[in-house]
Amino acid sequence: MIKIAVLSGKGGTGKTVVTSGIAYVMDRKQSLADCDVEAANLSLVLNPRDTVSRPYYGLEKASIDPDVCISCGKCMENCRFEAIEENEGIFTINKTRCEGCGVCGEVCPAGAIGFSAFKDGEIYFSRSDLGRLSHAELTPGSGTSGLLVHEVKKEAILRGSDNEVLLVDGPPGTGCPVISTISGMNYILMVTEPSISAIHDLKRLLNVSRGFDVISYVVINRYDLDIPNSDTIEEFCRKEGIKLLGRIPFDPMVLTAVQDGEPVTSYDTPASEEIKAIFKRLMAEIGLENE
């Protein structure tokens, strides 16, 4: 299975538009995964059906047995995450703050603290006209986004083991969820835009990707909103030896497609034509030219 992730160094560059656009023109059996577990939205343009789900349990979290607790306060004194709360001598655990580090259990002289699995989110699996889709919803405040990304990818690979391509809509930024997304990928398509912040974050994302055995490509979205900055990105790619696969023009029909809940490549529009061309170039690069 060839694994391709669509990423960006910042939010709002058009990752999902590009991912869904490529998925629409892919003529090979594919699995799809949305690894932006904190704000998954690929399903909004794929119209999935037959959705099933299972709970996701991240790190174990502490709990205090009130019948055993002697109210000494040592757990509160030693918790660096301020997850221990006290009310009239009764100590409890704030599950949102607890990181499951185990320090409170170590310092408790009465043995009143135990650890158990905590539901940190939900993993979803659906079918769509473009392929099987895996995505997830992280419980707000949970710090296990990287682990959940790993589970989403694993779900997509296991359920789509007979497919030729895994196409991943990744999270923005360069943090733990992005690192978890890149792990195991063969190719990365970095979507950027001609703004100062996007250029800065593209460089950071490229630095992160170099820690993995992956081949990276760049796409500039809405390139014609700032031609000089687009030229700067192209020059940067040339110096870094990163192939620029295309420049997508600003196109009001993209918003129409998103509002209609459809991939932009299902429309006859300039942005659609460029994404189709980018797809063909990408397939040629990785040796999967459409037949």
Say what the pLDDT of residue 260 is. Answer: 92
Say what the pLDDT of residue 160 is. Answer: 82
Rounded Cα–Cα distance for residues 219 and 229 (Å) = 13
Range among 24-33, 115-124, 269-278 rated most confident: 269-278
- Backbone dihedral angles phi then psi of residue 129, each to the nearest 5 degrees: -65, -20
Of the chain, the percentage scoring pLDDT greater than 70 comes to 99
- What are the tens digits of pLDDT across the range 104-162? 999 999 999 999 988 999 999 999 999 999 999 998 878 788 999 999 999 999 888 88
Give the pLDDT band of residue 290 (cuts 50, 70, 90): low
Q: Domain 61-116 has what CATH class?
A: alpha beta
Say what the pLDDT of residue 79 is. Answer: 96
Domain boundaries, given as residue ranges, for the chain: 2-57+121-286, 61-116
- Backbone dihedral angles phi then psi of residue 117, each to the nearest 5 degrees: -65, 145
Residue 206 scores a pLDDT above 60: yes
Residue 237 scores a pLDDT above 70: yes
Q: Domain 2-57+121-286 has what CATH class?
A: alpha beta
Q: What value does the mean pLDDT of the chain take?
A: 93
